[in-house]
Amino acid sequence: MEHDVRPWGEYWVLEDAPTHKVKRIQVNPGGRLSLQYHFKRGEVWTIVSGVGTITIDAEVKDYTSGDVAYIPRGAHHRIENKTSEPVVFIEVQYGTYFGEDDIVRIEDDYNRS
């Protein structure tokens, strides 16, 4: 199983198929992913534990266990953990390509391009 540690937390790839990719993602307290979008995929995020503040274009909302965020291809999005406990979610990517190089970062706390 592919595992990667990032400045905001870590993720595990649970399934990688030609039609979709599934990740378990943990965002540490105080961490947030870059504000980003994708050309070739959309995503569905299901919160498993914790509270994630999710931005999708102009909407910013707190999501808790069982809540689902639908992120269409091209939508500017991020998740942030403003709490003292980790937030864990399952990400299902759908589309035509699932490589990490299909991330366009608009804003990033960790100076990644």
Dump pLDDT digits (tens) for 77-108: 999 999 999 999 999 999 999 999 999 999 99
Contact 21, 15 (CB under 8 A): yes
Distance of CA 96 to the CA centre of its chain: 18
Q: Name which of 79, 88, 40 is nearest 56 in CA terms.
A: 79
Q: How far apart are CA 46 and CA 51, in angstroms?
A: 11
Contact 29, 50 (CB under 8 A): no
pLDDT tens per residue across span 37-91: 999 999 999 999 999 999 999 999 999 999 999 999 999 999 999 999 999 999 9
Q: How confident is the model at residue 1 (pLDDT cuts 50, 70, 90)?
A: confident
What domains appear along the chain, each with residue ranges and CATH number?
Answer: 3-95 (2.60.120.10)
Q: What are phi and psi of 80, to 5 degrees?
A: -130, 145
